[in-house]
Structure formats: C-alpha cells, structure tokens
Amino acid sequence: MRPLDFISTVHRKVAVTAVGPSALRGQGRGVLKSSQNYLATMSLARIPRSSHWRFKRWLDRQTEYLLDQLPIRGRPWGAARKALNLFLRDALYNQYLNKAYKLSQLEDWLEVPLDSAVAHGLKVEAGRGALPKWPGLISLTSDVSDIFQDFASDLARKRKVERVHLDMYLWLENR
C-alpha cells in the first residue's frame, strides 16, 4: 500500500531529476530552481488528450506560464520549452506517473527536447543547409523550434520511433 502523497512525491522527484543543472546551464540565476518548482506543481491530469492541436496549444501555454515564473528579465523561451519537454518525457518513462495520468496517450505528440547536441544531430541528419543555424537555447524561438520539431517528426518516422525518443539517440550520439 502506498501513502496518499506517493504520486505527488514521484511527480516532484521526476521534475527535479529530469531538469538537472546541466540541462539549463547558462540560462540565468534561479532558472533551474524556478523551472523545477513549476514542473513539480504542474497538473498532469489537465493535459488535453483529445487532439494534437489542443495538446500543442496547452504546451505553448505552459511554456508561457513557466516563463512568467522565471526570476530573470530575459524570457528564454528555449530553456522553458526544453524543461517542459524533458519533464514530460521523463514522466512518460516513469511507470507510476504514466499509469496515474495515462501519459502513453500523449507519446505521439510529445516533442524531442531540443538542445545543442540534439540540434546538431538533426542538422547532420538533414544535411547541409536544410535546417536553420542553431541559435542556442537562450535565443531559441517558437518558430525555429517548430522547424526543428517538424524535421524531427520526419526523422522519427524513418527510424520507426516516436519523436520524443529521438533525444536518447541524438543526445548520446552528439554529446
């Protein structure tokens, strides 16, 4: 028998371990702790499951909400989106959170967490000039992210995996 707060404790642990110091290095003072705190309290039960479009809109709103929590002047959209994507990926991989919140239903829609290693891998796969110059996480915008995510979707289909799982391959190959 598990205590009543077991799922919320697992949720917090996944938020802290999925988004560690190396994930948000150089993004600004307090960004890591604020991101972890936001993710630890974000409702996984309220994630839309009815359509990809509704999920994407929810993810965009969560990115903005997270940005509002950051204790810095700049709004590093790329850092906030990476933190969300790392957390959602690891929540999917955690058997307790996955079961409690039916996260497998979202697997097809989750984004690959973008960083320099993953972007480099995508650029190598795409070929010279096919993807824009990687702006760095701190300067990443929604529009540039969408271009990388679209290519990642195509690559994932070729590799016969979901886009979110490309992170394992590309990060390991390009770190």
Per DSSP, the residues of 89-140 read: HHHHHSHHHHHHHTGGGGTTTPPPPP-HHHHHHHHHHH-TTSSPPP--GGG-
pLDDT exceeds 70 at position 1: no
pLDDT at 71: 85
pLDDT at 159: 95
Q: Rounded to whole angstroms, how far apart are CA atoms 117 and 167?
A: 9
Q: From residue 6, how far is each of 40, 46, 100, 106, 114 by CA, in Å?
A: 13, 19, 11, 23, 30
* Exposure b/e, 6-18, CB count within 10 A at least 16 = b: ebeebbbebbbeb
Q: Rounded to whole angstroms, how far apart are CA atoms 44 and 38?
A: 12
pLDDT exceeds 80 at position 16: yes
- Residue 132 DSSP label: P
Q: Rounded to whole angstroms, how far apart are CA atoms 97 and 78?
A: 25
The encoded tokens of residue 159 equal 């590799």
What value does the mean pLDDT of the chain take?
93
Of all residues in the chain, the percent with pLDDT exceeding 90 is 82
> CB of 48 within 8 A of CB of 106?
no
Of all residues in the chain, the percent with pLDDT exceeding 70 is 98
pLDDT at 72: 81
Average pLDDT over residues 95-109: 97
